[in-house]
């Protein structure tokens, strides 16, 4: 009897299925829908979106700029897998996420069917009616390589010009630096460029990828103030990580640039 059992052919699949206990059967695995990359021809249609709200702490510290999120727009009209690409302090990142969750949209369509797509959401934070003290505080945040004296001089000039919102104030300060760089001797321009490149190379991998994407975007057209601000922030972040001697030299050159840019006597 034992030999007969061992040598007996396997029963047909139909008879095996009939003998199985339904409780032991596992549901067939299904492949989850693929997540497509967002593009000009494949994107959800946003039908409702709120501005992200400021926090009191962010206003008090004159924080402005952009929060960038990477999200999945799902076929059922909700967001998932929200990732912070660029954040801001004092609760602004969280406020941007709150605003993102309230977005309503029609899903992207491919071959007549709704599909999940992954893309970016950006929330810009700006302040208005700034006085000279607030402008000074903002510039200290945005241009940490500059001395208090250089920041004070730029803030005073901005206040005199009447640039009262954060975007205008930042843009003029950036223009001062660009103007100052053009007035440096060629050797110092090259030195500053070399130090800045080294600073960028010293960023962590994620920041380097972000910087490279921003750089490529700037080559295809005029970047927005938010993107330029982000690039400047990454450069200064890298400079803060340079060896002390190089960091001090970079800061000295940037302060010279600021002085030349606003023509401080």
CATH number where 39 lies: 3.30.2420.10
Final residue belonging to a domain, choices 125, 146, 163: 125
Final residue belonging to a domain, choices 125, 157, 173: 125
**Do 180 and 76 touch, CB atoms closer than 8 A?**
no
Full-model pTM: 0.81
pLDDT of 183: 95
Residue 17 belongs to some domain of the structure:
no
pLDDT of 67: 97
Q: Are 114 and 139 in the same domain?
A: no
Least confident of 11-15, 21-25, 159-163: 11-15
Residue 212 DSSP SS3: helix
3-state helix, strand, coil in the chain (%, to 5): 55, 15, 30
pLDDT of 238: 97
**Would you say residue 256 has pLDDT above 70?**
yes
| C-alpha distance from residue 258 to each of 46, 51, 182, 189, 230 (Å) | 42, 34, 11, 13, 19
Residue 230 belongs to some domain of the structure:
yes
Residues 6+ apart with CB under 8 A from 6: none
Q: How is residue 145 annotated by DSSP?
A: T
* β-pair type (35-37, 113-125): parallel
Structural domains in the chain (count): 2
pLDDT of 164: 93
Q: Are 113 and 137 in the same domain?
A: no
Mean pLDDT computed over 121-139: 96
Residue 55 belongs to some domain of the structure:
yes
Q: Are 62 and 95 in the same domain?
A: yes
Q: Are 118 and 150 in the same domain?
A: no
Range of the domain at 196: 132-262
Final residue belonging to a domain, choices 125, 151, 183: 125
Residue 21 belongs to some domain of the structure:
no
Mean pLDDT computed over 227-240: 96
pLDDT of 32: 52
Q: How is residue 116 annotated by DSSP?
A: E
Q: How confident is the model at residue 26 (pLDDT cuts 50, 70, 90)?
A: low
Q: Are 171 and 248 in the same domain?
A: yes
**Each residue's pLDDT tens digit, 27-78:** 544 445 678 888 888 999 999 999 999 999 999 999 999 999 999 999 999 9
Give strand pairing partners of 244. none
Q: Are 168 and 203 in the same domain?
A: yes
Mean pLDDT computed over 157-180: 95
Residue 93 CA to residue 71 CA, distance in Å, equals: 14
% pLDDT > 90, the chain: 78
Question: Which ranges constitute the DSSP H helices of 35-165?
Answer: 56-60, 92-101, 132-142, 148-161
pLDDT of 97: 97
Q: Are 89 and 182 in the same domain?
A: no
Q: Are 82 and 188 in the same domain?
A: no
Q: Are 112 and 148 in the same domain?
A: no
Q: Are 202 and 80 in the same domain?
A: no
| C-alpha distance from residue 86 to each of 92, 137, 169, 221 (Å) | 11, 21, 21, 21
Q: Are 52 and 173 in the same domain?
A: no
Closest to 92 measured CA to CA, from 129, 71, 65: 65
**Would you say residue 170 has pLDDT above 90?**
yes
**Would you say residue 265 has pLDDT above 50?**
no
Residue 106 belongs to some domain of the structure:
yes
Q: Are 84 and 139 in the same domain?
A: no
């Amino acid at each position: 009897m034992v030999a007969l059992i061992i040598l007996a052919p396997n029963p047909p699949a139909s008879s095996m299925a009939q003998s199985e206990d339904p409780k032991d059967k596992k549901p067939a695995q299904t492949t989850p829908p693929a997540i497509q990359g967002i593009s000009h021809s494949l994107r959800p249609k946003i039908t409702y979106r709120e501005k992200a709200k400021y926090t009191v702490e962010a206003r008090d510290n004159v924080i402005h700029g952009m929060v960038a999120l990477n999200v999945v727009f799902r076929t059922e009209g909700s967001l998932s897998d929200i990732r912070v690409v660029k954040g801001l302090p004092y609760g602004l990142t969280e406020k941007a996420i709150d605003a993102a969750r309230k977005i309503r949209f029609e899903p992207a369509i491919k071959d007549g069917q709704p599909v999940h797509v992954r893309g970016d959401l950006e929330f810009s934070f700006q302040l208005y009616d700034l006085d000279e003290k607030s402008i000074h505080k903002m510039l200290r945040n945005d241009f940490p390589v500059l001395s208090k004296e250089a920041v004070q001089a730029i803030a005073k000039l901005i206040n005199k010009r009447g640039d009262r919102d954060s975007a205008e104030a930042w843009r003029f300060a950036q223009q001062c630096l660009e103007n100052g760089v053009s007035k440096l001797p060629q050797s110092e321009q090259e030195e500053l460029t070399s130090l800045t490149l080294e600073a960028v190379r010293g960023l962590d991998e994620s920041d380097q990828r972000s910087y490279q994407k921003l750089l490529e975007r700037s080559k295809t057209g005029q970047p927005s103030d938010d993107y330029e601000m982000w690039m400047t922030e990454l450069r200064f972040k890298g400079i803060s990580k340079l060896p002390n001697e190089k960091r001090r030299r970079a800061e000295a050159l940037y302060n010279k640039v600021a002085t030349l840019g606003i023509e401080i006597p």
